[in-house]
């Protein structure tokens, strides 16, 4: 099938498919006239990628899953590389959550200081008794070394200008 059909069936734009190919995620065959040729299985691949992206993965993160599927596995997550990415993502999310919670507490404190009584919002400021959905299981170790941590969910607090990239 050609790019337009794949785009329609996978629910993405042709631009997106070409971008994925450029990133090495979705190599396409070529017809004699230069048109890209895709397999049926590529639909599945694209859907997998979109699903991962929607869950906060980057394209680079998605690569092991795609490779795994192309290697013949039914589940993109059934390869050790994919599992490693999963674990790394979990660690990143945990770190982000803890950061946000800390930040929330700080902000709430400052708000109370500036405007006592203004805190009419949630009960997330303190450890709430029922421990509802905020229980952060175990904390992973951080690994923020190389700069990039998550695929973009949380405002940056990059004030430690220690490392110039």
Partner DNA sequence: CTTGACATTGACGCCGGTGTCAAGGGTTAG
Partner DNA sequence: CTAACCCTTGACACCGGCGTCAATGTCAAG
| Listed residue (95, 101, 99) closest to 142, CA to CA | 95
In the list DNA, its own copies, none, the entry touching 59 (Cβ below 5 to 8 angstroms by class) is: DNA
Phi, psi of 74 (to 5 degrees): -80, -30
Q: Of 31-39, 66-74, 93-101, 106-114, which segment contacts DNA by CB under 7 A? A: 31-39
H/E element holding 37?
Answer: strand 36-37
Using CB under 7 A as the binding rule, whether residue 145 contacts DNA is answered as yes
Question: Least separation, in Å, of the C-beta of 74 and DNA?
Answer: 24
- Considering only residues 36 to 95 of the shown chain, the ones binding DNA according to CB under 7 A are 36, 53, 57-60
DSSP string spanning 57-117?
--HHHHHHHHHHHHTT-SSTT-SHHHHHHHHHHHHHHHHHHHHHHHHHHHHHHHHHHHSTT
Listed residue (33, 41, 39) closest to 3, CA to CA: 39
Give the distance from CA 43 to its chain's centroid: 20
Q: Does 157 bind DNA (CB under 7 A)?
A: no
Contact with DNA (CB under 7 A) among 9, 12, 44, 86: 12
- Of the candidates 133, 156, 157, 160, which one interacts with DNA according to CB under 7 A? 156
Nearer to DNA, 54 or 120 (CB): 54
CB 17 within 8 A of CB 6: yes
Q: Which is nearer to its own copies, 30 or 163 (CB)?
A: 163
Say how many CA atoms lie within 13 Å of 76 toward its Cβ: 21
- Choose between 31 and 90: whose C-beta lies nearer to DNA: 31
**Pick from DNA, its own copies, none: which does 103 bind, CB < 5 to 8 A by kind?**
its own copies
Is residue 108 near DNA by the rule CB under 7 A? no
Question: Residue 19 binds which entry of its own copies, DNA, none, with Cβ cut-offs from 5 to 8 Å by kind?
Answer: DNA
């Amino acid at each position: 099938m050609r790019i337009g059909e794949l785009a329609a069936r996978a629910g993405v734009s042709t631009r997106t498919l070409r971008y994925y190919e450029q990133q090495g995620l979705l190599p396409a065959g070529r017809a004699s006239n230069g048109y890209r040729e895709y397999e049926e299985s590529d639909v599945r691949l694209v859907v997998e990628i979109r699903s991962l992206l929607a869950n906060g993965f980057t394209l680079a993160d998605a690569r092991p899953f795609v490779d795994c599927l192309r290697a013949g596995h039914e589940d993109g997550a059934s390869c050790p590389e994919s599992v490693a990415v999963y674990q790394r993502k979990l660690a990143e999310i945990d770190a982000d959550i803890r950061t946000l919670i800390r930040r929330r507490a700080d902000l709430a404190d400052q708000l109370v200081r500036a405007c006592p009584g203004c805190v009419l919002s949630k009960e997330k400021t303190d450890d709430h008794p029922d421990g509802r959905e905020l229980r952060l299981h175990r904390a992973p170790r951080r690994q923020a070394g190389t700069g990039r941590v998550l695929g973009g969910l949380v405002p940056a607090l990059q004030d430690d200008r220690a490392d110039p990239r």
